[in-house]
Structure formats: structure tokens, C-alpha cells
Structure 1
Amino acid sequence: MATFRRALTHLAASEGPSSSVSDESLFPSSLLQHLTELGALTAPLPVEDGGLGLCSHPYGLMEMLRLTGCLSLSMGRCLEGHVNVLRLVALYGAHPQRTLLASAVKRGTLAGIWVTDGNTPVTITPTNTGYRLTGKKGFSSAVHEVGLALITARTAQDQTIMALVPTNDPVRITAGPGKLTGMTASGTGAYDFTGLVIHPENIVGQSGDYLRQPEFSAGAWRGSAVALGGMDRLTDLMLTELRNRKRDDNLHQQVRIGNALILRETASMWVCRAARAVCSTHLSPGDIAAIVNLARIAVEQAALELIPLVQRGLGLSAFVRGQAVEQVMRDLATYLRQPAPDETLTEAAHWFTDHPWPEDET
């Protein structure tokens, strides 16, 4: 574990807060290759499946996702989705499914979790030997790179089930819902599952497992860790440019720098609090879900305050296409648009209206 952590930290340090960016329309394939060589794809696998059990060590997982988000929010999004698949299959999958997934990941396969339907929702119907899928997934991150996807499908009884299916047929890949203003390097497209026949062993868990608490809400902390990495990069880019301009000792800029550091550290403390909640042995499922939901909103609020702060500090240079700071701001703003933020906040507030705030474990 320590060796893996040092290698990943070295990779992040070697990249540095460069002010230039590569073509953001291209998936960060070289970064994925580096991460694969470092073992980032296999590390979250359970130890019994040949991994490092990183999902059972939230602080180590937080560091991996945070560093990856700092390098590339698009890659961070895809790696977090990969981790989510490994986590859900470990929780709900049978031994053959875990073996299948572990074997694929050890061969360098990137997994993806695709749950947002396209214009035609994905449905599943039984056949004599298995199941037939119909419909599209519309927001499929890394659609050209993912080799196995964990998808949700609706049954005729309006139940939601998960299926682990191969996604290596280029004919089924189509354009996504439109060009996003940020996160374009994540390679989001659509995948048409119509006519695909799967076997019973492709079904993961039972109906309703995907929405089962606290895992459904608790998993959001990993996305917050990736966003925190984006805040790290944005703060570093601002500091680097102000130093290069010899404006870092200006009183007004120092106020902005101080506020930026406060925002980043606030987000960091909330992500750490969420990680502690997830690995807690005494918190109730409601406590865990509510703490993670509050952390998600706290990170979002901090990041949304950081973006205009950087814009005011750097002026028009923060709006120049081709500069890293401009791209990171767009990527971060897009990445933060997770579903139902108002509901997330009010549900957490309602929980702690009726329940005391839990003490930290020592």
C-alpha cells in the first residue's frame, strides 16, 4: 500500500501545475496507462480477489482519487466510476462475477458504471436461456475505453436490477446527449444495448440493491474526493501564475490566496469526515448517508466559491482557451453538477433534525 501511494504521489508531482493543456477533446489515454501500470485499477479490488483492498481503506482511496482529480478531473471521474463498479460487485456480486471482474481488471480493463438512460431507457426481459436488453445509456463516461460496464435496467415489474456486461462493440457506440462545456476529455457518449443477450450470471445482486442505503448515498464521497483534487489544481495554478507575475505579495491577492486556501481546506476536512463516516463501525446507515450528503454539498459550495475567486485574482487570463486554469474551471463546474443537490441537502438536514450529530470515533 505504501509503495503504491508513493508511486502515485510521484506521478502527480512529476506532472506539476503546468499552465498549458493538451487537447481536451482527447481522452487522457497516457494517464490511464500510467495509472494502470501503477496498479490503480487493481488496488480497489478486495484482497481475496487479488487487490489491495483499497475500498476498505478510505483514506488511501481518498488520496488516490484526489491525486487523480488533480491530474485530470476527467480521468478522476472515470477512475471513480471504475472504483464504484468494483465496490458494488464486491458488495452484491456472487463469486463467479467477482472472479470475472477481477480477471478483466488485472488484464487492464477499465470498468464503468452507466446508470443514466438515453432517450430509450434500458429494460430487461427474460428469454429461454437468459435475458435480452433494450435501450441506451446516455451519459456513458469513457465509452470508447470501458470494457465492462455495470448498468441498471428496469424489469417489466418496474424493478431496478444491475448487470455487468461487456461493452467492447464499437458499433453500439453513438454520440452522447450533446457537447458538454467541460469534462469533454472523459469521452462521454451513448451505448446502445438493444438486442444484447446476457446470461443469468451477468445479473449482480437482487432487485433494488443499487439504491440500497447507505451505500447508494455513501458512495458520493468518492466523487467529492475527485472534486477536491480539482480544487488542489486550481489553487496551485492561481498561485503559480501570481508568482510568475510577481503579484503574489500584493495585499489584495494575498486576501484571495488566503480565502482560496480556506475553501480548499474546508472541502478537505469535509471529505475526510465523510471518509471516517464510511469506515465507521458504530454509525447508523442514516448517519453515514447524511454526513456524506452534507460533505458533498460542502465541497460543491467551496468549489463554486473558489472559481470566481480565481477569476477575480487572474483577470482575463483565467478566460483564455488553451490555458489550464480556464479548462480546470470549466471541468470543475461541470463535474460538480451532480443530481438533486437540493434534495441531498434537505434530506441530510432532516435526518439531523431528528437525530443527534454523532461523535467522532477516537
Structure 2
Amino acid sequence: MLVLSADVQPPVLDRSFWRPLGMRATASFRADFTGLSVSASDLIGRPDDYYRQPWFGGGAVRFAAVQLGGAAAVLDETRRFLRRLGRTDDPYQRQRLGEMLALHETGQRWLRGAAVQAALPSSTTEPLPAAKLAAIGAYANLVRATTEDICLETLRLAERSVGARGLLQPEPFERLHRDLTHYLRQPAPDATLADAGRFALASDRPAYELWGD
């Protein structure tokens, strides 16, 4: 990894490829560094530091938190829409909102669990044991996979709650749906879950002790 002084050596930026389904308010660029000079002082860390585990895979918890925030926004918008239309007495709408609330709380508990797993002891400077590093990575993978399921199910329930009327512009739900759907498409979801399964298969601990120290 490196940081270049773009005001001194400006790269050529190309945004033309960024035409996403959702997240249209965002920007992403291809940067062409052809002809620019890189010195040792521009480098950050050593080669492959960016991919060190469990910190690279564990970083998925950050975007999982954003995704769960998107699902919470979908829940709140669904609730606002139904209240505005006076549909709060419909037993089926109440049931769907209850399911969405359960999904939301599940996601929050997974995030808290990830924070516990990743918390580093303040009383020692010793490297973490390999087993602990593996547990951090596996737990983060489960957070990521479970978050995707939570968000997709939240979207499904919300769609049924608001119907076609709620999906029309300028209703906020239309944009929230596109943004969350697009952001959920993170790379290698199947491999992520398989890695968590590999961690469990390599351990002799019972399930309730898998995440212990």
C-alpha cells in the first residue's frame, strides 16, 4: 500500500465505469498512476500487510454494521409508511413488523459478539494465540454471512408490507432498497461461510466453547 501526494503527482481518474444499481450518490474511480514516481516514504507497511488475517477478513464487520444500518432504515421506513396509511391494525402487517424487529435485534447481537471477539487485552503486549486469531476471523465470517441473510429477509418482508405503492418514487423505500441490495453484493460469500465451517471442523471444542479464550 502507498500514499502519493496527489497535489504534486495527480493521477488520471476515470469514473466512467461506476454505474451501479444502487448507491448512486457514491463515487468510485479507476486511477492511472502511469509515469508517477514512488519512493520508500510513500509506502505503508510491508508487502501483503493489507491481507493479514484475521484483520483483513475481520474488517467485514465494519461493512456488516453499515448493512444492518441499512436494514434498520428499511424497517423504520416501512413502519412510517404503514402508519401514514393507517395500516397499523392489520394483523399481517403487525406480524411482518414483528419478524423484522426480531431480525434487527439478531443483527445487533451479532455485532456486539464481534466486538467482544475482536477486543484486544490491554494488559499484555504478547501476540495473540493462533487459535484466538482463527476464532476472530471465523466469527467475523459468520457475522458477514448472517448479516446478508438478515438484510435480504428484511427487504423481502418490507416489500410485502409496502407493496407496489411503496416502491414507487419519490418514496424513500425505493432508494433504500436499491442501495442495500447493491451493498450486500460483497465478494466470495460462499467461501466466507465455508471458512467458518472449516474453523469448526478443525476444533475439538463443543459449540458453546468455540469462541472462548
TM range (shorter): 0.7 to 0.9
- Change in Cα spacing, 1:354 to 1:325, as seen in structure 2 (3 Å) is same
One-letter identity of the residue aligned with 2:179: D
* Cα RMSD for the two superposed structures: 1.9
Q: Any idea what SS the aligned residue of 2:30 has?
A: strand
1:171-201 deviation digits (Å, cap 9, x = unpaired): 7121242411101111123222222212211
TM-score for the superposition, normalised by structure 1: 0.52
1:285 partner letter: L
More helix by share: 2
1:166 is displaced (CA, Å) by 3.6
CA distance in 1, matches of 2:136, 2:189: 17
Q: What are the residue-to-residue correspondences of 1:216-295 with 2, within 5 Å?
A: 216-281=56-121, 284-295=132-143
In the aligned structure 2, how far is the partner of 1:326 from the partner of 1:167? 37
State the percentage of identical aligned residues.
33
Secondary structure in 1 matching 2:186: coil
Partner of 2:124: none
Contact 1:182 1:333 in 2 (8 A): yes
Q: Counterparts of 1:203 and 1:340 in 2: how far apart (Å)?
A: 28
Deviation at 1:328, TM superposition (A): 0.7
How many angstroms apart in 1 are the aligned matches of 2:34 and 2:108? Answer: 42
Does 2:194 align with 1:346?
A: yes
Aligned to 1:214: 54
Amino acid at match of 1:307: L
SS in 1 for 2:21: coil
CA shift, 1:214, in A, is 1.2
1:248 offset after TM fit, Å?
1.5
For residues 129-184 of structure 1, the C-alpha deviation after alignment (integer angstroms, 9 at most, x for no partner) is: xxxxxxxxxxxxxxxxxxxxxxxxxxxxxxxxx11224457771212424111011
Report how far residue 331 of structure 1 moved.
Answer: 0.4
Q: 1:302: which partner in 2?
A: 150
Indicate conservation of the 8 Å contact 1:307/1:329, yes or no.
yes
Structure 1 residue 354 displacement after superposition: 1.5
For 1:358, the aligned partner's letter is L
Following TM superposition, by how much is the alpha carbon of 1:317 offset from its aligned partner in structure 2, in angstroms? 2.3
1:150-169 correspondence runs (5 A)? 162-167=1-6
CA displacement at 1:358 relative to structure 2 = 3.2
Q: Is the aligned partner of 1:204 residue 2:56?
A: no
User: 1 CA distance for matches of 2:120 and 2:62?
Assistant: 16
Aligned length, in residue pairs: 200
Given candidates 23, 29, 53, the residue that maps to 1:189 is 29
**Structure 2: gaps (5+ residues):** 122-127
Contact 2:141 2:192 in 1 (8 A): yes
Q: What CA distance in whole angstroms lies between the structure 2 residues aligned with 1:189 and 1:205?
A: 24
The answer (yes or no) to whether the contact 1:267–1:302 under 8 Å persists in 2 is yes
TM-score normalised over the length of structure 2:
0.87
Is 1:331 equivalent to 2:171 in the alignment? no
Give the letter aligned to residue 229 of structure 1: G
- Higher Rg of the two aligned structures: 2
Aligned amino acid, residue 345 of structure 1: L
Asked if the contact 2:11/2:33 (under 8 Å) is kept, the reply is no
Letter of the structure 2 residue corresponding to residue 203 of structure 1: L
* Greater fraction of residues in strand: 1
